[in-house]
């Protein structure tokens, strides 16, 4: 019975999603939420049932029998669990978010997407994996589009890049099938690992085809352009899901296929740089580059959702670097950062959605001072950015620390420098978000803004608790990694509930958190014994003796928010940041012209003859070549 | 008139507080000043601050904003427009706060006593703890005044801020009389161009007048 | 005059203007109000590109205001005073803002201090004075001392301090007049 | 008495001790600057008087975020001070330099949050300058630390300090000369002394982040600077100047580091923010990078 649960958690959401297309909107969101509870419950019971699989066979013309297999591996279960937990939280958030005024009709599609996600994490063969992957691409395209022209453009952009990746993956799967004669993922991994020594060119081709697919999905360089459009234009409550879970499919893919291949390859088979096989070193450099680009772009972005989308790009860079180190510490760090990113970026996007829900603004400089009216949202954002900046005692520090330890182990100091740059830069843009949205002057337009509705607040509070828990007790998360690492053929890492051990030192996060609490206590004592304090109005500021209202300067104009880092803009003018985008645009224009050509041949009735002639010539040419 | 001697009350209060004397010591040894460069007196401060007279050895130093400062220096004459800013800044300062007026102008208007934009008595608008006579006072006089002020702080005599709090109505009335006027003092002016006429209208008007 | 501007001005403008060489490099040109802008435009075209300042004088006995434009040339290093007289009852003057945009605050100030009106100047609001309702203060019929005595003395404020821990220096209106 | 309570009491002692050391340095520093400018200068205990006076004054607050931020700022820096080995002794038994770097950030974040909640643009401009400058000095600093880290394969400050305890010849100044120059330049920016005092530019932005701080808030601001001095000078002494075997040697070395900074501060004018960062990247950055390359390849 239990193994029948596997197709249920994949197919049930998809079918129900199709069914829901004809139902009223409000009901859809309730079904979505309730089904997510069921799914999360089922997924969390799967773990204790041990290894299981569900096989389904059919015959494909020309290739023989196809075996489709769904199964639970430690890695898959881990991703399944965190994604279902996060989805549950986000669906709770959406329940309040989609009221009459803000409602979107994405619930059925989202439910199908959840099914596709479960499918990706459960697939044991390439056919199921590819079907789920395609389903995921299509549903997310329509969700990002959600009926708005500007959003649909972003969706197309996203889909074009991901389509490119999907095509590469299809070619890779086809090549792999020809080589192994099987659709199974695990046999593909073994064969490719062997091929790396015997048929190196072939193996590298397959690996790079898959890598392109995964990089495109995870928005690593050179595919770092799509999140800023897709995340920004997607429905606000969906952005959290997009950034928290969907950007991790690529990471999962890398962990599923690329990482085990290199782990199974004996050392010395491939030339290595700094103790890392050179393809992985290239991946590390590309990831570090992604981090730097994402950071610099985020610093100068004025749209709050775009800013956080660039921040997502930067964080995926961290994860990529962790993977590329090739050590068990690096893999653990990458997975840990995946979880952390899911929590803190989920929290950040949730709080941004709450802000948008209450104010309807997306440009940061038009906001300000919301901390005083929306404290829970503010604290979620605050803890989110503390985690994102990698400051103890929150979870982000632990995973960043592990990534750096992995780098120090391999002495990849230059990559580490790039990451440190990204990490310091993260401070700049995160603080900018904090100040411009939540601190500073509260505009009179938003004086009557209320805290987010109860369910939204509740899911944000849960996210805060999770971030704190993972920060103070890293073992809660890191303890789960060892069986995944062992399954991938790596050594387990040393970790306890309180501490982690890296290559150069070990760290006790609980100790750090408690001494921080002690120090805050000391300061609080000083604060209490100090003189009496009085609360003044926000506009009662030092203004060289002038009353700002005399100069028609209200809170809106007195809020320093627009073009925040203008003085240092010149420092980055030498960076060719726009090159990739220009390249894509040129490609896009070329494709458009090609499309126009085809349209002009086929659509125009008078040219039908031409297309017939062309077709005949093509057939003759193919025949001659054969 | 009700006679309430704030100074004696303050002394009585401080006698009861065993830490009072100690606190006053810290306050007098660390006076941070906000110098309001209104007039000529500002030029006497650089020699007072720099190597020759070195104000910093008394624990005094310039501060950037009224929030941080203890001591407001009114260095010279004070125009009405500045007065508004001075009051604004004084009210932004945190207690205890002291005011020192430099030269004759804050005392009685000095050589500007009959000028239309310059106020004559600073005491009528904010409480002044110490005035330095002279036009302008030399750095020695300034240092001397600061030392006297320190003595007054130690003795609990420099209580201008308490007076301001207690008699705020009186100060506010004076401030309003000067700053918030609603009618002309001598003779109201009737602007003949109050309706903002254009050039053509003015020309036509003049032509008409000359014709008449 | 190194650039012979005196002669050229006479030739160009004839009897519209009245020129006089005050000093070696200073020239005074008097003209009618409606001709000032023509003259200033001509001077600017003659490389007198810098308007240094603009001022106003109250000739109360003659019941006239005199406006003075100080124009300077960087090439000949000459300084020209363009002067015109206005009726003191209804003084108004064409704005020179189209010739020199920076003349705006000068005109604004003259409007505030003398009450001269400049149609065409976009902003003639108060610049220096706080809450001013009296005569423009630089007119000679405005008596500054009376104003000061009427407003700033403790007498005038009509109040004595309600507290006894300070000796406020009281100067009444009478004492001040004695001290004259 | 159980061990945790004892440790707690010791840590409270360390927190007040670090404030006291920092304040002493600030007072001595003012005296030194005064003497460079041929003045008498205030007494060396002036900073203590200033801070106590600040705590006796009344103060204003704009909202709860301001209180929270200020407390978080000093708390974060004091927590960092616990991780700095003092005279070759680390009270917590661990002193990872990575923790020090990241824990310091919470102090800066708290400060940034607290002062920008006051709503004064000057404060926010000061913070944006400070953060931008951070990008300038953090990179060279981290590069030098990584050079040490791959040599010793340890990120513990105590390891570095112990490794240099064999007399003056074993100090890291001689082992990492380029790195020392880079860190000295970066240190100038870290403590915000001229020519990198953009953050607190009294004549431009009215003392930047401190603009709305009054009374005890300003007092905590001063303590923040004091603990920052303790942490950062302690960091440099442990990294380059051979740690110390006794507490007074430690104090003397720490003050020597601060003294160098002050001497430069007393005779320099301020860069523009953009020039400052560029200067840091070009000079400190290139020295740090050379040191890192040298250590990575030949070290």
Q: Average per-residue pLDDT in chain A?
A: 82
DSSP D284: I
Helix (H, G, I), strand (E, B) or coil at A308: helix
- Reported as half-sphere exposure (CB side, CA atoms, 13 A), residue A99 has a value of 11
Question: pLDDT tier at D23 (50, 70, 90 boundaries)?
Answer: very high
Please determine, for residue C43, whether its predicted confidence score (pLDDT) is greater than 80.
yes
CA–CA dist B72, B37 (Å, integer) = 10
- Give pLDDT, residue D89: 79
- Give pLDDT, residue D226: 92
From chain B, the residues in CB contact with A545 under 8 A are 84-86, 88-89
Taking an 8 Å cut-off on Cβ atoms, the answer to whether A546 and B85 are in contact is yes
- Label the pairing between strands B61-62 and B32-36: parallel
From chain C, the residues in CB contact with B81 under 8 A are 128-130
Q: How many CB atoms lie within 10 A of CB A404?
A: 29
| Lowest model confidence (mean pLDDT) among A370-374, C11-15, D30-34, D227-231 | C11-15
Distances from the Cα of B198 to the Cα of A315, A546, B205, C33, C120, angstroms: 64, 34, 11, 16, 7
Interface residue of B105, B108, B186 to substitute, partner C, most C CBs within 10 Å: B186
Please determine, for residue B5, whether its predicted confidence score (pLDDT) is greater than 90.
no
Give residue limits of the domains in chain B: 6-179
- Give pLDDT, residue C180: 41
Please determine, for residue B118, whether its predicted confidence score (pLDDT) is greater than 50.
yes
Average pLDDT of A500-528?
85
Taking an 8 Å cut-off on Cβ atoms, the answer to whether B92 and A546 are in contact is no
**A200 or B89, which is more confident?**
B89
Question: What ipTM was estimated for this complex?
Answer: 0.81
pLDDT in tens, D85-130: 887 777 777 788 888 888 888 888 888 888 888 888 888 888 888 8
CB D171 within 8 A of CB D243: no
Cis peptide before B136 (omega within 30 of 0): yes
Please determine, for residue C177, whether its predicted confidence score (pLDDT) is greater than 60.
no
Distances from the Cα of A584 to the Cα of A1, A587, C54, angstroms: 50, 5, 60
Which backbone phi and psi does C120 adopt, to 5 degrees? 105, -20
- Give pLDDT, residue A357: 85
Residue with tokens 């580091």: D257
Q: Which two tokens stand for residue B145?
A: 């005044």
- Give pLDDT, residue C173: 46
- Give pLDDT, residue C158: 60
Chains with ≥3 CB–CB distances under 8 Å to C:
B
- Give pLDDT, residue B12: 64
Which domains are present in chain C? 5-125 (3.30.460.80)
pLDDT in tens, A261-270: 887 777 777 7
- Give pLDDT, residue A601: 63
Q: Which two tokens stand for residue B35?
A: 């110098």
CA–CA dist A15, D184 (Å, integer) = 65
Please determine, for residue B39, whether its predicted confidence score (pLDDT) is greater than 70.
yes
Rounded to a whole number of angstroms, the distance from the CA of A349 to the nearest CA of chain D is 20
| DSSP conformation letters of A94-162 | HHHHSSTTT--S-HHHHHHHHHHHHHHHHB-BHHHHHHHHHHHHHHHHHHHHTT-HHHHHHHHHHHHHH
Distances from the Cα of A457 to the Cα of A32, A93, A109, A449, B169, angstroms: 19, 8, 25, 15, 48
Average pLDDT of D8-20?
87
pLDDT in tens, A75-112: 888 888 888 888 888 888 888 887 777 777 778 888 88
Q: What share of chain D has pLDDT > 70, as a percent?
A: 99
The answer to whether residue D56 neighbours chain B at the CB level (below 8 Å) is yes
Please give the CATH topology (third level) of the domain spanning B6-179. Answer: Rossmann fold (3.40.50)
**C69 or A440, which is more confident?**
C69
The count of domains in chain D is: 1
From chain B, the residues in CB contact with D121 under 8 A are none
Taking an 8 Å cut-off on Cβ atoms, the answer to whether B56 and D41 are in contact is yes
- Give pLDDT, residue C170: 45
Average pLDDT of A530-542?
82
pLDDT in tens, A204-229: 888 888 888 888 888 887 777 788 87
From chain D, the residues in CB contact with A435 under 8 A are 112-113, 116, 124, 127
Helix (H, G, I), strand (E, B) or coil at C48: coil
pLDDT in tens, D193-202: 878 887 777 6
CA–CA dist D182, D148 (Å, integer) = 13
- Give pLDDT, residue D20: 92
Q: What share of chain C has pLDDT > 70, as a percent?
A: 84
- CB contact set of A559 (below 8 Å; sequence gap of 6+): A365, A368, A369, A436, A440, A441, A443, D119, D121
Residue with tokens 């004696």: B8
Average pLDDT of D282-294?
89
Please determine, for residue C171, whether its predicted confidence score (pLDDT) is greater than 60.
no
CA–CA dist C29, C17 (Å, integer) = 6
- Give pLDDT, residue C179: 44
CA–CA dist B88, B66 (Å, integer) = 10
Q: Which domain holds residue D216?
A: 3-297
Helix (H, G, I), strand (E, B) or coil at C41: helix
- For the purposes of burial, counting CB atoms within 10 Å of the CB of A103, is it exposed (0-12), middle (13-18) or buried (19 or more)? middle
Rounded to a whole number of angstroms, the distance from the CA of B77 to the nearest CA of chain A is 17
pTM for this model (two decimals): 0.85
- CB contact set of D197 (below 8 Å; sequence gap of 6+): D265, D270
Give buried/exposed letters for C83-97 (b at 16+ CB in 10 A, else e): bbbbebeebbbbbbb
Query: Any bridge partners for residue A418, and if so which?
Result: none
Question: pLDDT tier at C168 (50, 70, 90 boundaries)?
Answer: very low
- Give pLDDT, residue C55: 92
Taking an 8 Å cut-off on Cβ atoms, the answer to whether B183 and C150 are in contact is no
Question: pLDDT tier at A531 (50, 70, 90 boundaries)?
Answer: confident
Question: What does R_g of chain C's alpha carbons equal in angstroms?
Answer: 22
Question: pLDDT tier at B10 (50, 70, 90 boundaries)?
Answer: low
CB B87 within 8 A of CB B126: yes
- Give pLDDT, residue C70: 92
Rounded to a whole number of angstroms, the distance from the CA of D264 to the nearest CA of chain A is 25
Average pLDDT of A409-437?
87
CA–CA dist A513, A471 (Å, integer) = 8
């Amino acid at each position: 019975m239990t193994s029948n649960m596997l197709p249920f958690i994949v197919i049930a959401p998809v079918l129900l999603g199709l069914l829901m297309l004809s139902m009223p909107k409000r009901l859809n969101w309730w079904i979505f939420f309730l089904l997510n509870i069921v799914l999360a419950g089922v997924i969390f019971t799967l773990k204790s049932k041990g290894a299981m699989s569900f096989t389904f066979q059919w015959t494909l013309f020309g290739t023989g029998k196809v075996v489709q297999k769904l199964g639970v591996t430690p890695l898959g279960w881990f991703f399944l669990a965190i994604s279902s937990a996060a989805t549950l939280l986000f669906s709770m958030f959406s329940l309040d978010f989609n009221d009459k005024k803000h409602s979107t009709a994405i619930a059925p599609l989202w439910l199908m997407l959840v099914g596709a996600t479960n499918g990706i994490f459960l697939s044991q063969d390439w056919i199921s994996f590819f079907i789920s992957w395609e389903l995921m691409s299509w549903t997310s395209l329509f969700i990002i589009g959600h009926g708005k022209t500007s959003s649909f453009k972003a969706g197309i952009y996203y889909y074009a890049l991901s389509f490119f990746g999907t095509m590469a993956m299809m070619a890779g799967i086809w090549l792999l099938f020809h080589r192994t004669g099987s659709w199974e993922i695990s046999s593909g991994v073994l064969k490719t690992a062997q091929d790396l020594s015997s048929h190196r060119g072939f193996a590298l081709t397959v690996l790079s085809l898959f890598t392109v697919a995964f990089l495109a999905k995870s928005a690593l360089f050179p595919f770092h352009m799509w999140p800023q459009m897709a995340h920004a234009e997607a429905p606000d409550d969906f952005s959290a899901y997009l950034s928290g879970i969907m950007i991790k499919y690529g990471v999962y893919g890398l962990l599923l296929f690329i990482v085990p291949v290199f782990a199974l390859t004996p050392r010395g088979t491939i030339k290595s740089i700094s103790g890392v096989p050179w393809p992985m070193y290239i991946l590390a450099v590309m990831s570090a580059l992604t981090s730097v680009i994402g950071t610099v772009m985020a610093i100068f972005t004025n749209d709050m959702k775009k800013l956080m989308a660039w921040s997502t790009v930067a964080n995926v860079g961290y994860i990529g670097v962790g993977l590329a180190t090739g050590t068990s510490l690096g893999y653990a760090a990458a997975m840990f950062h995946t979880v952390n990113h899911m929590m803190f970026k989920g929290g950040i996007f949730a709080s941004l959605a709450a802000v948008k829900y209450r104010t309807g603004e997306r440009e940061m400089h038009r906001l300000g001072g919301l901390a005083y009216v929306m404290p829970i949202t503010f604290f979620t954002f605050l803890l989110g950015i503390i985690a994102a900046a990698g400051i103890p005692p929150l979870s982000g520090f632990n995973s960043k620390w592990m990534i750096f330890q992995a780098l120090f182990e391999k002495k990849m100091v230059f990559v580490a420098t790039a990451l440190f740059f990204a990490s310091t830069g993260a401070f700049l843009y995160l603080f900018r978000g904090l100040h411009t949205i939540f601190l500073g002057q509260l505009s009179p337009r938003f004086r009557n803004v209320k805290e987010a509705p109860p369910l939204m607040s509740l899911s944000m509070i849960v996210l805060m608790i999770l971030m704190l828990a993972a920060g103070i007790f890293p073992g809660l998360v890191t303890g789960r990694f060892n069986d995944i690492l062992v399954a991938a053929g790596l050594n387990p890492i040393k970790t306890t509930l309180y501490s982690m051990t890296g290559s150069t030192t070990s760290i006790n996060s609980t100790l750090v958190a408690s001494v921080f609490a002690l120090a805050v206590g000391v300061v609080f004592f000083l604060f209490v014994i100090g003189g009496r304090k009085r609360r003044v109005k926000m506009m009662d500021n030092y203004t060289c003796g002038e009353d700002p209202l005399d100069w028609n300067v209200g809170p809106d104009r007195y809020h320093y928010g627009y073009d925040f880092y203008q003085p240092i803009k010149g420092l980055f003018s030498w960076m060719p940041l726009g090159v990739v985008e220009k390249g894509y645009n040129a490609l896009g224009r070329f494709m458009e012209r090609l499309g126009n050509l085809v349209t002009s041949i086929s659509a125009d009735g008078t040219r039908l003859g031409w297309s017939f002639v062309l077709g005949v010539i093509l057939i003759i040419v193919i025949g001659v070549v054969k | 008139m009700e006679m309430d001697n704030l100074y004696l009350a303050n002394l009585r209060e401080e006698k009861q507080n065993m830490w009072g004397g100690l606190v006053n010591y810290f306050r007098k040894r660390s006076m941070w000043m906000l110098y309001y460069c209104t007039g000529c007196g500002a030029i006497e401060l650089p020699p007072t601050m720099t190597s020759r007279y070195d104000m910093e050895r008394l624990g005094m130093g310039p501060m950037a904003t009224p929030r941080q400062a203890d001591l407001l220096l009114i260095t010279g004459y004070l125009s009405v427009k500045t007065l508004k800013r001075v009051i604004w800044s004084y009210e932004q300062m945190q207690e205890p706060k002291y005011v020192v007026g430099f030269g004759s102008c804050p005392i009685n208007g000095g050589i500007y006593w009959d000028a239309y934009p310059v106020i004559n008595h600073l005491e009528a608008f904010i409480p002044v703890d110490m005035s330095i006579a002279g036009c302008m006072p030399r750095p020695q006089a300034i240092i001397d005044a600061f030392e006297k002020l320190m003595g007054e702080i130690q003795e609990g005599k420099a209580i201008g801020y308490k007076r301001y709090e207690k008699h705020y109505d009186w100060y506010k009335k004076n401030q309003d009389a000067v700053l918030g006027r609603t009618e002309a003092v001598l003779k109201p002016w009737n602007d003949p161009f109050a309706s903002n006429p254009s050039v053509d209208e003015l020309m036509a008007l003049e032509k008409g007048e000359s014709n008449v | 005059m190194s650039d012979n501007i005196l002669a050229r001005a006479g030739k160009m403008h004839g009897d519209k203007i009245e020129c006089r060489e005050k000093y070696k490099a200073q020239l005074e040109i008097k003209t009618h109000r409606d001709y000032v802008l023509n003259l200033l435009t001509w001077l600017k075209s003659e490389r007198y590109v810098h308007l240094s300042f603009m001022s106003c004088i109250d000739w109360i006995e003659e019941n006239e205001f005199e406006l003075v434009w100080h124009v300077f040339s960087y090439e000949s290093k000459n300084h020209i005073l363009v002067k015109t007289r206005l009726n003191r009852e209804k003084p108004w003057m064409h704005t020179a803002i189209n010739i020199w945009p920076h003349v705006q605050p000068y005109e604004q100030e003259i409007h505030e201090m003398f009450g001269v009106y400049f149609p065409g100047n976009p902003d003639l609001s108060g610049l220096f004075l706080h809450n001013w309702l009296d005569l423009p203060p630089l007119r000679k019929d405005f008596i500054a001392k009376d104003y000061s005595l009427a407003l700033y003395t403790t007498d005038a404020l009509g109040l004595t301090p309600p507290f006894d821990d300070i000796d406020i220096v009281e100067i009444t209106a009478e004492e001040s007049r004695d001290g004259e | 008495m159980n061990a945790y309570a004892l440790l707690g009491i010791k840590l409270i002692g360390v927190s007040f001790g670090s404030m006291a050391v920092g304040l002493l340095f600030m007072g001595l520093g003012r005296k030194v600057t005064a003497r460079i400018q041929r003045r008498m200068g205030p007494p060396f205990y002036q900073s203590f008087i200033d801070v106590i006076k600040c705590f006796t004054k009344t103060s204003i607050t704009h909202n709860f975020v301001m209180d929270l931020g200020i407390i978080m700022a000093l708390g974060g820096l004091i927590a960092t001070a616990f991780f700095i080995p003092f005279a070759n002794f680390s009270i917590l038994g661990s002193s990872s330099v990575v923790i020090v770097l990241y824990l310091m950030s919470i102090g800066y974040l708290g400060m940034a949050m607290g002062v920008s909640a006051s709503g004064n643009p000057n404060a926010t401009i000061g913070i944006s300058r400070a953060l931008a400058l951070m990008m300038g000095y953090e990179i060279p600093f981290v590069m030098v630390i990584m050079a040490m880290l791959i040599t010793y394969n340890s990120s513990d400050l105590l390891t570095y300090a112990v490794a240099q305890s064999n007399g003056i010849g074993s100090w890291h100044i001689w082992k990492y000369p380029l790195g020392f120059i880079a860190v000295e330049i970066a240190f100038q920016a870290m403590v915000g002394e001229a020519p990198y005092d953009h953050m607190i530019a009294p004549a431009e932005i009215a003392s930047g982040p401190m603009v709305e701080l009054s009374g005890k808030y300003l007092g905590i601001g001063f303590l923040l600077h004091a603990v920052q001095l303790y942490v950062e000078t302690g960091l440099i002494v442990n990294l380059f100047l051979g740690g110390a075997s006794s507490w007074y040697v430690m104090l003397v070395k720490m003050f020597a580091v601060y003294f160098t900074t002050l001497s430069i501060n007393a005779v320099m004018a301020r860069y523009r923010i953009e020039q400052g960062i560029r200067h840091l990247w070009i000079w400190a950055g290139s020295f740090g990078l050379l040191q890192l390359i040298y250590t990575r390849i030949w070290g």
